[in-house]
Amino acid sequence: MTKFITILIIALVLFGGWHLFLYWEKVKQEEETQARQAAASQVVPEQLPGLPYTLEQSLAAAQAQGAAGLEAWMKAYGHLVQDPRKAWIELDYILLISRSNPAEAKRLFAAVKERTPATSPVYPRIKQLEKTYE
């Protein structure tokens, strides 16, 4: 009888250990999936579609000039740029003018938020800035 109880205890310990191992693998896999999703969600603005490659250098020069340069660039070339890149550029502009003209920043932010769908790669940045500009 004691041999049977010993075998039963060993079997239960092995069974519990196996389930603990399976649970550990599941948690580890979920963490790896979240890490991969976080890495994939890092948006590189230069890789967003919507900006003709011929305007890349002029955009960089305008961004180097600050808010005034970016505003002038958007007035000159804004009609040629499409979302999601246009939304990203406008969010950069909003950040630049937020201290000097908060009303204009809020107005522009509302316009960008309204036209940006939740599936856009720019949407996480909008959600991040939402509390500031609403």
pLDDT score, position 32? 83
Q: Looking at the structure, do residues 21 and 61 belong to the same domain, yes or no?
A: no
CA distance 124 to 131: 13
Q: Looking at the structure, do residues 92 and 129 belong to the same domain, yes or no?
A: yes
Mean pLDDT of the chain: 87
Q: Looking at the structure, do residues 21 and 59 belong to the same domain, yes or no?
A: no
Total tally of structural domains belonging to the chain? 2
CA-atom Rg of the chain in angstroms: 26
For the segment 59-75, the average pLDDT, to the nearest whole number, is: 90
For the segment 66-86, the average pLDDT, to the nearest whole number, is: 89
Q: Looking at the structure, do residues 52 and 103 belong to the same domain, yes or no?
A: yes
pTM attached to this predicted model:
0.68
Q: Looking at the structure, do residues 101 and 124 belong to the same domain, yes or no?
A: yes
Domain housing 57: 45-133
Q: Looking at the structure, do residues 26 and 56 belong to the same domain, yes or no?
A: no
Q: Looking at the structure, do residues 60 and 112 belong to the same domain, yes or no?
A: yes
Q: DSSP states of 92-111 as a string? A: HHHHHHTTT-HHHHHHHHHH
pLDDT score, position 119? 85
Are 116 and 83 contacting, i.e. CB atoms less than 8 angstroms apart? yes
pLDDT score, position 38? 65
Q: Looking at the structure, do residues 121 and 55 belong to the same domain, yes or no?
A: yes
Q: Looking at the structure, do residues 37 and 58 belong to the same domain, yes or no?
A: no
pLDDT score, position 23? 94
Q: Looking at the structure, do residues 73 and 35 belong to the same domain, yes or no?
A: no
CA distance 116 to 123: 7
Q: Looking at the structure, do residues 29 and 80 belong to the same domain, yes or no?
A: no
Please say if the pLDDT value at position 75 is more than 60: yes
Q: Looking at the structure, do residues 119 and 107 belong to the same domain, yes or no?
A: yes
| Confidence class for position 125, pLDDT limits 50, 70, 90 | confident
pLDDT one-digit tens code per residue, 25-64: 999 988 887 777 666 567 777 788 888 888 889 889 988 9
pLDDT score, position 15? 92
